[in-house]
Amino acid sequence: MIRLGIFYFVLYCSFAVVLMFLPLYLQYHGIGTGRIGMIMAMGSVMAVIGQPIWGYISDKVNSAKKVLLFIMVSALLCSFLFFAVESFWSLLLLFTLFMFFMTSCGPLTDSIAMQYANKHKKNYGAVRSFGSIGVGTSALVLGMLIGVVGIQYIGWMYAIIMLAAIPLVLIINESGREVTTGVRPSITLSSLKELLKNKKYIWIVIISFLIFTPHKMNDSLLTIYLADLGALEKQIGLAWMFATFSSVPIFALTGLLLKRFKEMTLLMVAAFLYSIRWFLYGVWDDPQILTYLQLLHGVTFPLFFVAVFHYVTKLVPRELIATGQLLFIASTIGLGGLLGNAGGGWHMETYSPQATYHLAGYFSLIASILIMITLLYSRRNNKTKIYNGTRMTYEK
């Protein structure tokens, strides 16, 4: 788990470049907020397209590790082309190609870590917290470095981080994917159709879509919002460091929380806290207050992410673990990111950031209500089954 944690740390350092400072890079090249949202939305489009493809391939070859190595090298090569152009359409096209590979790096790592943790009875949340530490550390360091040398050099910063991460893929343990029977699980279109017929799976996808749409909007556009309010690169890096570092304790505690509470209960709490978070973002336009409000990320994201990941893993057949997980991520974080980035950018430009965050709050509030209804319906069904079972025993 230590080697996996080190890999998480270094890989997620590269995510800070793409998620937190790339919007500033695009703004540096004269791209407006609406068009920045369009470009960042292509990452979500590629998540929808690419993640199920790479998940399917990893299941077919029975190795997420080999696929992960290939897409990391491909993402690095594409980044050299992306950071060499300046026009909007060139940036849009090459960012789309770049994100076809990059968007699956995190989910494939999550799949490897989840299966390893399940097999060896380790705490997945604890090892996942190394990724948060990596993002937070990178956000602060890159923010200070960019403030000194300029935003135009983030392409080289990304390349250096990826060159450090790629060799680490070779040392991570993938024993959790071993098939004890000696027979590789078969994957067919009929088994994929069976997955899509799973009503609980589809329902949690819909709920998660409502949560991740505003979450991804904030990931891409908060940086631009803070910069427009006068925040410097160092303060922007500090805001994201607060967000990621604050999530480490909750990631570490998720194992205990999942033993004590059901996943749906934790999801309801997280969704309600998300709604409070976005409503608060819509109240203030002070960059300092918004920076400290990023601390709420430390509760909302890890609690929802780990709980929903565990829940989805239970719903997915073993032979479709990577495919089911990546299809879920593509449908929620991917499609949610598409709406959040493109729609959020348009909404901010047309109305205001405050109005956009209020809308985000309503999205999360609706999700929390749907989860509560699901819990109540589930408890009612359980009571009905217990009653019917008791009555049948009595009649006998």
DSSP string over 247-286: HHHHHHHHHHHHHHS-HHHHHHHHHHHHHHHHHHHHH---
- What's the rounded Cα separation, in Å, for the pair 11 and 25? 20
pLDDT of residue 381: 72
Which amino acid does the sequence have at 294?
A: Q
- What's the rounded Cα separation, in Å, for the pair 129 and 256? 15
- Cβ atoms of 104 and 13 within 8 Å: the answer is no
- Secondary structure letter of residue 177 according to DSSP: G
**In this model, does residue 125 exceed pLDDT 80?**
no
| pLDDT tens digits, 144-194 | 999 899 999 999 999 999 999 999 999 887 754 444 333 344 455 666 677
Residue pointed to by tokens 């890079």? 25
* The model scores a pTM over 0.85: no
Please, which pLDDT band fits residue 124 given cuts at 50, 70 and 90? confident
Cα 231–235–239 angle (5° rounding)? 110
**In this model, does residue 304 exceed pLDDT 60?**
yes
Tokens of 388: 């019917």
pLDDT of residue 182: 38
86-111: average pLDDT: 93
pLDDT of residue 50: 85
Q: Which residue has the higher pLDDT, 351 or 176?
A: 351
So where are the chain's domains? Answer: 2-172+191-395
Q: Which long-range contacts does 377-385 make (Cβ < 8 Å, 24+ apart)?
A: 378/264
Which amino acid does the sequence have at 269?
A: V
pLDDT of residue 63: 84
Q: CATH number for the 2-172+191-395 domain, one of 2.60.40.3140, 1.20.1250.20, 3.30.930.10, 3.40.309.10?
A: 1.20.1250.20
133-139: average pLDDT: 90
**In this model, does residue 368 exceed pLDDT 80?**
yes
186-205: average pLDDT: 76
Percent of the chain with pLDDT over 70: 91
pLDDT of residue 188: 56
